[in-house]
Amino acid sequence: MKQYKIAVLKGDGIGPEIVNEAIKVLNAVATSENFKLEYTEFLLGGSAYDKTGDPCPKETIEGCLNSDAVLFGAIGGYKWDNLPKEKRPESGLLKIRKALGLFANIRPAVIFDELIEASTLKEEVIKGVDLLVVRELTGGIYFGKPRGKEKDKAYNTMVYTKEEIERIARIGFEEAMKRRKKVTSVDKANVLEVSELWREVVEEVAKDYPEVALEHMYVDNAAMQLVRNPKQFDVILTGNIFGDILSDEASMIVGSIGLLPSASIGGKVGLFEPIHGSAPDIAGEKIANPIATILSAAMMLDFLGELNGAEKIRKAIKKVLKEGYRTKDIASFGAKRVVNTEEMGDLIAENAGN
């Protein structure tokens, strides 16, 4: 029997609730597929700061590095908003990504037929949408130096090296090879020298993938095209800040941020998390939608090579939605029965374990 060590970072707000449901589903699949998951919990975010004074303790980094994968919930909340920047929960997340070498963030945006009404776009525009945003995660303007804030001005620096662009481009093309073999590289090469280099390096990498069609698109046009005709996209490859914005836009195209998973990869260990936040206003009320976290768990199984288990989870989610079960956030869209967080987890686990 194969065994995998999973580091669990439940985080803050609704984090513990949604991660618990993902673990419930994972356990059901592990039993049916005959593999074992060994979980170890570590602290990250506001909960880590409260107990240790550090949003990302050394023990957490070491524990994650000694695991096969990391399952993560969400961090942050009003409680920690007034802390110094380096002590805030978000700093802990940036620190763990850097420490684990997670330079690639992969965010699928797939429309569920049962939830087409949840999108603000017309059915004919979004039916069949299935795209993937591949975002560079540890470079660009969020990390560039110099940076600073003075009395009358503030500044940040956007920096990318050829090596950083090449490695994220390879991830994008590899993902495209598994899909419809098209990459849309998004930049601002008409204005930014950084984007000029981005485009040059992407074109160089593309030569190693002759089966993949490559197109370039300016970020402002990409934002418009995502709303106008999202079905034209297969893999969107882009830098840190552009990817941050476009992936959130893509999430709303499919109707609910509570449905979308993500994977951060690049190092020995992958980190898997929903793209939504910690929603402290509903924490403890058992109304959070666990589907994004459960889909993130499915991406984790893909990463571990347990492809059958991952597919079982996805099919179970589709079946539960088709039967009309909805959490409160999506209750307006075809609900036959509104269920709480735990009940949704139970339903998916029951179907995934068969």
pLDDT band at 239 (very low <50, low <70, confident <90, very high): very high
Return the pLDDT at 273: 97
Return the pLDDT at 205: 98
Residue 115 belongs to a domain = no
Active site amino acids:
142, 188, 220, 244, 248
Residue 293 belongs to a domain = yes
Return the pLDDT at 259: 87
Nearest CA-CA partner of 100 in 135, 129, 137: 137
Q: Do residue 70 and residue 165 come from a single domain?
A: no
Q: Do residue 229 and residue 134 come from a single domain?
A: yes
| Predicted confidence (pLDDT) per residue in 258-284, tens digit | 788 999 999 889 999 998 999 999 999
Q: Do residue 166 and residue 249 come from a single domain?
A: yes
With tokens 């240790």, the residue in question is 52
Instruction: Tell me the average pLDDT of the chain.
Output: 96
Return the pLDDT at 256: 73
Exposed (0-12), middle (13-18) or buried (19+): which is 256, by Cβ within 10 Å? Answer: buried
Return the pLDDT at 99: 93
Number of domains in the chain: 2
Q: Do residue 66 and residue 146 come from a single domain?
A: no
Q: Do residue 329 and residue 283 come from a single domain?
A: yes
| Predicted confidence (pLDDT) per residue in 1-14, tens digit | 899 999 999 999 99
Return the pLDDT at 9: 98
CATH of the domain at 271: 3.40.718.10
Q: Do residue 14 and residue 66 come from a single domain?
A: yes
pLDDT band at 252 (very low <50, low <70, confident <90, very high): confident
For the whole prediction, is pTM greater than 0.85?
A: yes
Q: Do residue 249 and residue 153 come from a single domain?
A: yes
| Predicted confidence (pLDDT) per residue in 202-220, tens digit | 999 999 999 999 999 999 9
Q: Do residue 19 and residue 60 come from a single domain?
A: yes
Provide mean pLDDT across the span 213-242: 97
Residue 117 belongs to a domain = no
pLDDT band at 227 (very low <50, low <70, confident <90, very high): very high
Residue 123 belongs to a domain = no
| Predicted confidence (pLDDT) per residue in 20-33, tens digit | 999 999 999 999 99
Q: Do residue 155 and residue 212 come from a single domain?
A: yes
Q: In what order do the strands lie in the sheet with 182-187?
A: 35-41, 2-11, 69-74, 270-274, 261-265, 104-110, 130-136, 235-238, 182-187, 213-218
pLDDT band at 255 (very low <50, low <70, confident <90, very high): confident
Return the pLDDT at 222: 98
Provide mean pLDDT across the span 215-230: 97
Residue 152 belongs to a domain = yes
Return the pLDDT at 133: 97
Q: Which of 221, 238, 253 is the last residue of a domain?
A: 253
Per the structure, the complete domain to which residue 145 belongs is given by: 130-253
Q: Which of 209, 235, 253 is the last residue of a domain?
A: 253
Q: Do residue 137 and residue 244 come from a single domain?
A: yes
Residue 50 belongs to a domain = yes
Q: Which of 222, 253, 284 is the last residue of a domain?
A: 253
Q: Do residue 6 and residue 70 come from a single domain?
A: yes
| Predicted confidence (pLDDT) per residue in 127-172, tens digit | 999 999 999 999 999 989 999 999 999 999 999 999 999 999 999 9
Which has more pLDDT, 250 or 317?
A: 317
Q: Do residue 225 and residue 285 come from a single domain?
A: no
